[in-house]
Amino acid sequence: MRKFKQIFLTFIVFYAVSFMAFAQNPTQNTSEMAGQKWSEVKSKKKGFLTVLHYDRPPFVYQNEMGQLAGIEHDAVSEFVRYVQSKYDVHIVPQWIRSDDYKTFHESLKNSKCEGLIGLSSVRTDNELTDGVHFTAPFLKGVEVLATSHNFPTIDGTDQLKNLLDGKTAVTVKGSVFEKLLNNLKDKNFPNSKIIYVDSPEKIAPEIAKKQDMFGFVPLPDFYLQVKQGGQIKRQPFFDVPHQGYALTFPVGSGWEDVLKEFFAHKSFKPSMNFIIRRHLGTGIDDILWEEESDKADSFGSEEDVTSLQVKVKELGDSHNNLLKFTFISFPICIIALFLYFRYTQKQKKHILVQQENFKKIDEKHNLAINFGKQIQLASFSKHHDVLEVFPESFIHLQPNDLVSGDFYYFADLGNKKVLALMDSAGSGTSAAYITVQGNILFDKIVKEEKNSSPRKIMAELNQRIRASLDNNPEFSQGKGFEMVICTVDSQAQTLTFAGAELSAYLVTEGRLQQLAPNALTIGVKDVSENEITEKTISFKKGTALYLCSNGFENQQNIGGHPYSFERWTKLLEIVAERSMKVQHDDLKQELLHWQGAAPQTDDILVVGVRLA
């Protein structure tokens, strides 16, 4: 009997592994995929959209964590958001990978599945585009002549012969890149040899890694290579524009109208510009879309929808496949589960006894921590108070633990509004204590004593925090605060600032201004008012103001690299002109994309307001 159980359990493990492989690797036969008609999805308020992709960075690819990413991937995510907002329809994308472009194209061409779109950096003037339809371009199309970094800049065709003749060209056989190369080669550099690579995305890396190499490459590939540190140079005199890159879908697809509507929406171009910058970096203005003067606020006012939620829905689809398969083999599963539960009953009892012992200890600890968390949250300023004064605002508070060492403060003093953000240098209960104490003292100094000068508030707070810590030595390891305080006078359109290690950021018409802080920490030593620098500046209506702890810029990715101050300030410049609601979504998506599977490294707090 024991031997039979072992054999049977081995069979079940094999069955489960095979089963999961089936669920996570759906068929590439698009005629069998579960895409649905748009009319059916719209009627039911939910459904599936099959997304067939042939990977090619930076359009669609697997990142270092094995997750799908890229310009086209993010464009589909924006489309899902748009449909959710406009029609209150929940779409679950089913991502299906194709092994090569020819298979990808034939699958689209011959598919009977209406709910199918294709991602493969497809040019609308590509030779292999018969039998499929296109969306409007999501990215401008330009092929550029790229050279190794050792070449000087070429001013015109007169220099081609001297500089390129006898050097080595890189291209893809039978491609548009080879045709562009041959148009110049015979007259200008007939003695140059050509080496071939098997895909367009390999041309730029090949040119970058050696000297005396050149070839035509797609402009996004060039920018991606530059972003990755490749030693490659663009020769702008020889740019060849084309119609651009688009998503594809089968002829007769019922999704054509809603896709056309999405691509024509006023928020499409700002959203795509943000996505393109994210994947290709800065200095790419020649392939960004010209945005309308009335920048779109949002694709809508839906509740928080992040890329994580989209991926959860995708996993939910795999789960549905799993359930279907389970139903077919239901009797076997019942027998397997019965034997499995009997086999593990004794082990479970032993584990439960251990868990109960640990549970009693954890309950006492968690009760105290949760109680502290409730006290802390109750003492914090409320977002709705900020919204009443600044309707265009967001607050992103993401503690690294149950209690946070970061907090913000807001007070309305009539013509003047005080907005502050603090980052406690401590952690755990000591940080929780000092944040609660800080809020109480803020109320006394600002609301009761009517102080609106950031410098005076900071000096008073320093003195009283130190006194509080002297009376409570068990919390002295909190080590005080870093902080930034701003007083906004909307009537005079001025902002008065003081900072202790934390900056304030203003973005006006796409330009970021950093208000630099003093190099001091509040609550550590005596600080006189004269040691604190206070600045008053005028602002234009519509300026975006950001206060933040250093948690976002210090967040590490799976490789252990921090997001960095440079990325953070560039991100603020990129998102600043969008609505605060959309900015909040953008920041959360960017954080999720950067962090991936890495653990959170610090408390994260960002406050953004539009100054009127």
Residue 56 and residue 201 in contact, taking contact as beta carbons nearer than 8 Å: yes
- Backbone φ/ψ region at 366: left (φ over 0), alpha (ψ -120 to 50), beta: alpha
Quote the pLDDT of residue 526: 87
pLDDT at 177 exceeding the cut of 50: yes
Q: What is the model's pTM?
A: 0.52
Q: Is pLDDT above 80 for 528?
A: yes
Q: What pLDDT sits at residue 226?
A: 87
Q: 160 has which bridge partners? A: none
Report pLDDT digits (tens) over 199-239: 888 999 999 999 999 999 999 999 888 888 888 999 877 88
* Measured distance CA(198)–CA(149) in Å, rounded: 23
| The pLDDT value given to residue 233 | 92
Spatial CA neighbour of 249 closest among 43, 80, 49: 49
Residue 377 pLDDT: 55
- What is the C-alpha to C-alpha distance for residues 182 and 24, in angstroms, rounded to an integer? 44
Do 91 and 48 contact (CB within 8 A), yes or no? yes
- Does the pLDDT at position 488 exceed 60? yes
484: pLDDT strictly greater than 50: yes
Residue scoring higher pLDDT (66 or 355): 66
Which pLDDT does position 570 carry in this prediction?
A: 87
**Does the pLDDT of residue 306 top 60, yes or no?**
no
Average pLDDT over residues 543-555: 96
Distances (CA, A) of 164 to 160, 176, 183, 185, 239: 6, 20, 14, 9, 17
- Residue 377 gets the label, from left (phi > 0), alpha (psi -120 to 50) or beta, of alpha
Determine the Cα–Cα distance for residues 435 and 378; give it in Å rounded to an integer. Answer: 11
Instruction: Give the Cβ contact number of residue 367 at 10 Å.
Output: 10
pLDDT higher than 70, residue 346? no
Considering only 42-46, 430-434, 454-458, 496-500, which range has the smallest mean pLDDT?
430-434
Query: Among candidates 304, 318, 300, which has minimal Cα distance to 79?
Result: 300
Q: Is the pLDDT at 422 greater than 70, yes or no?
A: yes
pLDDT at 596: 78
Residue 94's pLDDT is 84
Confidence band of 323 (pLDDT split at 50, 70, 90): very low
Which residues share a beta bridge with 246? 122
- What pLDDT is stored for residue 27 in this prediction? 38
Q: How sure is the predictor about 413, in pLDDT bands with cuts at 50, 70 and 90?
A: very high
Q: What percent of the chain has pLDDT over 70?
A: 75
Of 95-109, 347-361, 369-383, 427-441, the poorest mean pLDDT is in 347-361
- Measured CA to CA, the distance from residue 86 to residue 83 in angstroms comes to 5
The 10s digit of each residue's pLDDT in 70-124 is: 999 999 988 988 898 899 888 888 889 998 888 888 888 888 788 899 998 888 7
136, 288, 571, 594 from 269: Cα distances, Å:
11, 8, 17, 23
Greater pLDDT, 558 or 582? 582
Mean pLDDT of the chain: 80
Q: pLDDT digits over 239-268, tens only?
A: 899 889 999 988 888 899 999 999 999 889
Judge contact between 527 and 520, C-beta under 8 A: yes
Residue type, 281: G
Cα 379 to chain center, whole Å?
Answer: 31
**Spatial contact of 112 and 175, defined as CB atoms under 8 Å apart:** no
Most confidently modeled of 165-174, 188-197, 348-357, 539-548? 539-548
* DSSP class of 533: -
Residue bearing tokens 């009517």:
450
Say which residue the tokens 């039979």 belong to: 4
Question: Has residue 176 got a pLDDT over 50?
Answer: yes
327 vs 335: CA distance, rounded Å: 14
Nearest to 291 by CA among 509, 539, 612, 584: 509
Give pLDDT, residue 17: 34
Upper half-sphere CA count for residue 439 (Cβ side, 13 Å): 19
**pLDDT for the residue 251:** 85
- pLDDT tens track for 11-40: 333 333 333 333 333 334 444 455 688 999
Handedness of CA 446, 448, 451, 456 (dihedral sign): negative
> Which pLDDT band holds residue 427 (cuts at 50, 70, 90)?
low
pLDDT score of 536:
97
What residues contact 461, with CB distance under 8 A and at least 6 apart?
Answer: 438, 441, 442, 445, 483, 522, 523
pLDDT of 3 above 60: no
Binned at pLDDT 50, 70 and 90, residue 155 comes out as confident
168-171 and 213-218: which strand pairing? parallel
CA–CA separation, 607 vs 583, rounded Å? 11
pLDDT: which is higher, 595 or 389: 389
Residue 55 scores a pLDDT above 80: yes
Phi and psi angles of residue 170, each rounded to the nearest 5 degrees, phi first: -120, 130
Confidence of residue 593 (pLDDT cuts 50, 70, 90): confident
Q: In angstroms, rounded to a whole number, what is the distance separating the alpha carbons of residues 90 and 267?
A: 20
Highest mean pLDDT among 16-30, 118-132, 151-165: 151-165
Predicted local distance difference test score (pLDDT) of residue 237: 79
